[in-house]
Amino acid sequence: MKSARKGAIVVYAVAIAMLLLVAVGCQSQKRGAAPMLGEAEAVSAKEIKEANKEETKKVSKLYDFEPEPLTVAQCAQCHITVFEDIKKQGGKHQLDCVRCHTQFHMFNPKKRPYETVIPKCETCHGVFHGKGTKTVRLTNCASCHADPHAPLIIPSAEIENACSSCHKKEAKQIKKHASKHTTEVACVDCHADKHGFIPECNACHESHSPDIDPNDSTSCMVCHPVHMPTKIVYGVETSSTICAGCHGEAYDLLQKNRTKHTELTCAKCHDVHKKIPDCGDCHGIPHSKTMMHDTSKCGDCHGTAHNLPS
Ligand code: HEC
Ligand code: HEC
Ligand code: HEC
Ligand code: HEC
Ligand code: HEC
Ligand code: HEC
Ligand code: HEC
Ligand code: HEC
Ligand code: HEC
Ligand code: HEC
Ligand code: HEC
Ligand code: HEC
C-alpha cells in the first residue's frame, strides 16, 4: 500500500515535469525560459531521491523497460521551428540532431553558460577556411554561418570585404592584371545579391560587334577572361567581322583587294592583339638575293599586307 502510493507520487511528479517541459517548449523557444526547467527539475529530483531509497529492487510495470534515445521526430515535436529550418534550408546539415547536440537540456545560466552546451563547428570541420588574416578572421564561424540549422544562408554584409581571404587565386589575378575591373568595379558589384552569384556581361556592357551575342557572356570571355579583361586572347579562327567592329578601315581595305590575303582571318596574321607580323614569318625568304638587291623591304614592291597590288 505504502510503496504503491509512493510509486504513484513518482509517476505524478514525472508527468508534471514532462508537462512543464512541453508547455515551456511550446510557448517559447527562447533561452530565457530555461529557469522554469530548473524549478521543475528541483521538484522531481527531491521526490525521486526519496522514492529511490526504498524502490531500488521492485520495478513497476510502467518502468520495466530501457528507454530508447530520442529520435529526430521526437526532438521535432517540441522544437518544431528548428526542425522546419533544417528541413527547408539545412542542406547537408540534415543530420540526426544528437550527432551535433551530444549534450542538450543542459543549459543553466548559473552553472553552465550557453556557450559550453552548444556544438562546436570545429569538432567536425576543423578550422575549415584557415585562420584568415589580421583584418578578416575566419575562425568565428557563426559570424558568417549565422544559423547552424541553415549553414549556407550567409548574410552578404558579413563577407563583403572578406572575398580575397578565401578566393586568393581570383584576387591575385585581378590585382596583378590591373584593369578597370580592378579599379572601377568591386567584387560585390559583379557578384551581387548573394554569395556565388555570377553576373552576365550585358548587365553593364553592350557588345562592340554585331557578331557577338551580347547575351552570351561566354562568347565575351573567349577574348576577355573576366578577372583580367584586358589580357585579350583569341583563336586564329576568330571571325574577322568581330575585329571589323573596331577596325573598319583595315577590314574594308582587305575586302576590296581580293588577294589571297583576303581569305585569311585577321587573327591568322595578328595572333596576339596589336601584334604586327613580319612578312617573313610566313613567307620566309621568297626571292633571290639579286631580286632583293636594291631593297630589303617587301612593301616597296608589294604595298601593305592589307593592300597587295595585283
Ligand atoms: C518534451 C519537449 C522536448 C523534447 C522532446 C526535446 N526538447 Fe529540447 N528543449 C525543450 C525545452 C522546453 C527547452 C528549453 C527552452 C528552449 O530553450 O527552447 C529545450 C532546450 C533545448 C536546447 C537549448 C540548449 C539547452 O541545452 O537547454 C537544445 C540544444 C535542445 N533543447 C535540443 C534538443 C534535442 C537535440 C532534442 C532531441 C534529442 C530535444 N531537445 C528534445 C523541450 C524539448
Ligand atoms: C550541424 C549541427 C547541428 C544539428 C544537426 C542540429 N543542431 Fe541545433 N544547434 C546547433 C548549434 C551550433 C546551435 C547553437 C546556435 C546558437 O549559437 O545559438 C544549436 C542550437 C539549437 C537550439 C537552441 C537555439 C535555437 O535555435 O532554438 C535548439 C533548440 C536546437 N539546436 C535544436 C536542434 C534540433 C531539435 C535538431 C534536430 C532537428 C538540431 N538542433 C540539429 C547545431 C546543430
Ligand atoms: C557533428 C558534426 C558537425 C558539426 C558539429 C557541424 N557540422 Fe557542418 N557538416 C557536417 C557534415 C557531415 C556535413 C556534410 C559534409 C559533406 O557531405 O561534405 C556538413 C556540411 C556543412 C556545410 C555545407 C552545407 C551544404 O549544404 O553544403 C556547412 C556550410 C557547414 N557544415 C558549416 C558548419 C558550421 C558553421 C558549423 C557550426 C555551427 C557546423 N557545420 C557544425 C557535420 C557537422
Ligand atoms: C567570413 C565569413 C565566413 C566565416 C568566418 C566562415 N565561413 Fe564557412 N563559408 C563561408 C562562405 C561564403 C562559404 C561558401 C558558401 C557557399 O558555397 O555558398 C562557406 C562554406 C563553408 C563550408 C562548406 C564548403 C563547401 O565546399 O560546401 C563549410 C563546411 C564551412 N564553410 C565551415 C566553416 C567553419 C567550420 C567555419 C569556422 C571555423 C567557417 N566556415 C567560417 C563563409 C565563412
Ligand atoms: C570564408 C570563405 C569565403 C568567403 C569569405 C567568400 N567565399 Fe566565395 N566561396 C567559398 C567557398 C567554400 C565556395 C564554394 C566552393 C568552391 O567552389 O570553391 C565559394 C564559391 C564562390 C563562387 C563560385 C560559385 C560558383 O557557382 O562556382 C563565387 C563566384 C564566389 N564564391 C564569390 C565570392 C565573393 C565575391 C566573395 C566576397 C563577397 C566571396 N565569395 C567570399 C568561400 C568563400
Ligand atoms: C566585372 C565583374 C566581376 C568582378 C569585378 C569580379 N568577378 Fe569574379 N567572376 C565574374 C564572372 C563573370 C565569373 C564567371 C567566370 C567564368 O564562368 O569563367 C566570375 C567567377 C568568379 C569565381 C568562380 C571561379 C571559378 O573558377 O569557379 C570566383 C571565386 C570569383 N569570381 C571571385 C571574385 C573575387 C574574389 C573578385 C574580387 C577580387 C571578383 N570575383 C571580381 C565576374 C566578376
Ligand atoms: C557590374 C558591372 C560590370 C559587369 C557585370 C562587367 N563589367 Fe566590364 N566593366 C565595368 C566597368 C564599370 C568598366 C569600366 C568602364 C568601361 O570601360 O565601360 C568595365 C570595363 C571593362 C573592360 C575594359 C577594361 C579596361 O581596363 O579597359 C572590358 C574589356 C570589360 N569590362 C569586359 C567585361 C566582360 C567581358 C564582362 C562579362 C564577363 C564584364 N565586363 C562584366 C563593369 C562591368
Ligand atoms: C574576338 C575577341 C573579342 C570578343 C569576343 C569580345 N571582345 Fe571586347 N574587346 C576586344 C578587343 C581586342 C578590345 C580592345 C582592347 C584594347 O583597347 O586594347 C575589346 C575591348 C572591349 C571593351 C573596352 C571598351 C571598348 O569598347 O573599347 C569592352 C567593355 C568589351 N570589349 C566588352 C566586350 C563584351 C561585353 C563582349 C561580349 C559581348 C566582348 N567584349 C567580346 C576583343 C573582343
Ligand atoms: C596577311 C596578314 C594580315 C592579315 C590577314 C591582316 N593583317 Fe593587319 N597587318 C598586317 C601587317 C603585316 C601589318 C603592318 C602593315 C604592313 O606592313 O602591311 C598590319 C597592320 C594592321 C593594323 C595597323 C594599322 C593599319 O591599318 O595598317 C591594323 C589595325 C590591322 N592590321 C588590323 C587588321 C584587321 C582588322 C584585319 C582583318 C580584317 C587584318 N589586319 C588582317 C598583316 C595582316
Ligand atoms: C573593341 C574594339 C577592338 C576590337 C574588337 C579589336 N581591336 Fe584591335 N585595337 C583596338 C584598339 C583600341 C587598339 C589600339 C589603337 C591604337 O593604338 O591606335 C587596337 C590595336 C590593334 C592593332 C595594332 C595597331 C597598330 O597601329 O599598331 C592590331 C594589329 C589590331 N588591333 C588587330 C585586331 C584584330 C586582329 C582584332 C580581331 C581579332 C581586333 N584588333 C579587335 C580595338 C579593338
Ligand atoms: C600569317 C602568315 C602571313 C603573313 C604574315 C604574310 N602573308 Fe602573304 N600570304 C600568306 C598566305 C597563306 C598566302 C597565300 C599563299 C598561297 O596560297 O600559296 C599569302 C600570299 C601572299 C602573296 C601572293 C598574293 C596573291 O594573291 O597571290 C603575296 C605577294 C604576299 N603574300 C606578300 C606578303 C607580304 C608582303 C607580307 C608582309 C607585308 C605578307 N605576305 C605577310 C600568309 C602570310
Ligand atoms: C623588288 C621587288 C620585290 C621585293 C622587294 C619583294 N618582292 Fe615579292 N614579288 C615580286 C614580284 C615581281 C613577284 C611576282 C609577281 C607576281 O607573280 O605577281 C613577287 C611575288 C611574291 C610572292 C608570291 C609568290 C607566288 O608564288 O605567288 C610572295 C609570297 C612574295 N613575293 C613575297 C615577298 C616578300 C615576303 C618580300 C619581302 C621579304 C618580297 N616579296 C619582296 C617583287 C618583289
Band of pLDDT at residue 156, cut at 50, 70 and 90: confident
Give bridge partners of residue 132 from the DSSP assignment: 137
Q: What's the pLDDT tens digit per position in 213-267?
A: 999 999 999 899 999 999 999 999 999 999 999 999 999 999 998 899 999 999 9
Distance from Cα 92 to the centre of ligand 3, integer Å: 7
Report how far ligand 12's centroid is from the alpha carbon of 298 (Å). Answer: 7
pLDDT at 16 > cutoff 70: no
Q: How far is the CA of 218 from the centre of ligand 2 (A)?
A: 42
Would the CB of 164 count as within 6 Å of ligand 6? yes
CA of 92 to the centre of ligand 1 (A): 22
pLDDT band of 288, cuts 50, 70, 90: confident
What is the reported pLDDT for 152? Answer: 93
Minimum CA distance residue for ligand 8 atom 18: 230
Kindly give the distance from the C-alpha atom of residue 183 to the centroid of ligand 7, in angstroms, as a whole number.
11
Q: What confidence category does residue 58 fall into, taking pLDDT thresholds of 50, 70 and 90?
A: confident
Q: Is residue 208 lining ligand 8, measured as CB closer than 6 Å?
A: yes
> Quick one: pLDDT at residue 310?
63
3-state SS record for the chain? CHHHHHHHHHHHHHHHHHHHHHHHHHHCCCHHHHHHHHHHHHHHHHHHHHHHHHCCCCCCHHHCCCCCCCCHHHHHHHCHHHHHHHHHHCHHHCCCHHHHCCCCCCCECCCECHHHHCCCHHHHHCCCCCCECCCCECCCHHHHCCCCCCCCCCCHHHHCCCHHHHCHHHHHHHHHCCCHHHHCCCHHHHCCCCCCCCCCHHHCCCCCCCCCCCCCHHHHHCCCCCCCCCCCCCCCCCCHHHHHCCCHHHHHHHHHCCCHHHHCCHHHHCCCCCCCCCHHHHHCCCCCCCCCCCCCCCHHHHCECCECCC
What is the model's pLDDT at position 61? 94
pLDDT > 90? residue 6 = no
Residue minimizing CA distance to atom 29 of ligand 7: 229
Task: State the average pLDDT over residues 114-142.
Answer: 92
Ligand 5 within 6 A of CB of 174: no
The residue ranges of every structural domain in the chain are: 2-129+143-154, 164-218, 240-302
Ligand 6 contacts CB of residue 224 (under 6 A)? no
- Looking from the CA of residue 78, the nearest atom of ligand 2 is 35
Averaged pLDDT, 170-190: 94
Of 160, 265, 134, 147, the residue nearest 211 (C-alpha): 265
Residue 30 confidence (pLDDT) above 50 = no
Q: Is the pLDDT of residue 23 over 50?
A: no
In which band, very low, low, confident or very high, does the pLDDT at 93 lie, cut at 50, 70 and 90? very high
Looking at mean pLDDT, say which of 84-88, 106-110, 186-190 comes out highest: 84-88
Arithmetic mean of pLDDT, 84-91: 97
Residues with CB under 6 A from ligand 2: 29, 72, 75-76, 79, 82-83, 86, 93, 95, 97, 99-101, 118-119, 142, 148-149
Give pLDDT, residue 169. Answer: 94
Residue nearest to atom 14 of ligand 7 (CA): 180
Residue 179 Cα to ligand 7 middle (Å): 9
Which pLDDT belongs to residue 134? Answer: 84
Residue of minimum CA distance from atom 20 in ligand 7 = 180
Q: What pLDDT sits at residue 182?
A: 95
Whole-number Å distance, alpha carbon 27 to ligand 3 midpoint, is 29
pLDDT at 92: 98
Looking at residue 56, its pLDDT comes to 63
Residue 153 predicted with pLDDT over 80: yes
Q: Looking at residue 157, what is its pLDDT?
A: 79
pLDDT of residue 35: 39
Averaged pLDDT of the chain: 84
